[in-house]
Structure 1
């Protein structure tokens, strides 16, 4: 995967997947111009697909009715 930390996410039915946390960045306007600012985290799946974390900071969906949870909340 990438140089980011690998974590194991588990679903309710017992499936486990290996994921990485990556920064979610947005463009912000400043007096000196535009700059990229980290506004949170995203989950990078082994397939290369990026998904957003839910508002609780530890769960995410990979598909319809496929929710996975990380062991700890991501800050």
Structure 2
């Protein structure tokens, strides 16, 4: 895991997984060149796969019909 903060995410059926939050960076053009800007967060699963957070900022899908929720809203 690249991140220090491991978080437990829970699904409706009681399944729990360990995830981390990683920054979502985009490239921005400036007068002096390009630089990387953090625009949000993504969820890093234990398997190494990164998935996007939903618009509510606290839930995400690992696969079809597998919704997991965090205990708090992620502030970007």
TM-score of the pair, normalised by structure 2? 0.96
Q: Is the 8 A contact 2:9 2:16 kept in 1?
A: yes
Spell out, residue by residue over 1:34-62, the C-alpha distance to the aligned partner (whole angstroms, 9 max, x if none).
Answer: 00000000000000000000000000000
Aligned to 2:66: 66
1:50 paired to 2:53: no
Residues in 2 aligned to 1:60 and 1:49: alpha-carbon distance in whole angstroms: 13
**Unaligned stretches of 5+ residues in structure 1:** none
Aligned 1:14-53 pairs, distance under 5 A: 14-53=14-53
Aligned length: 75
Aligned to 2:7: 7
Structure 1 residue runs of 4+, over 2 Å off?
Answer: none
TM-score of the pair, normalised by structure 1? 0.97
Residues in 1 aligned to 2:21 and 2:69: alpha-carbon distance in whole angstroms: 13
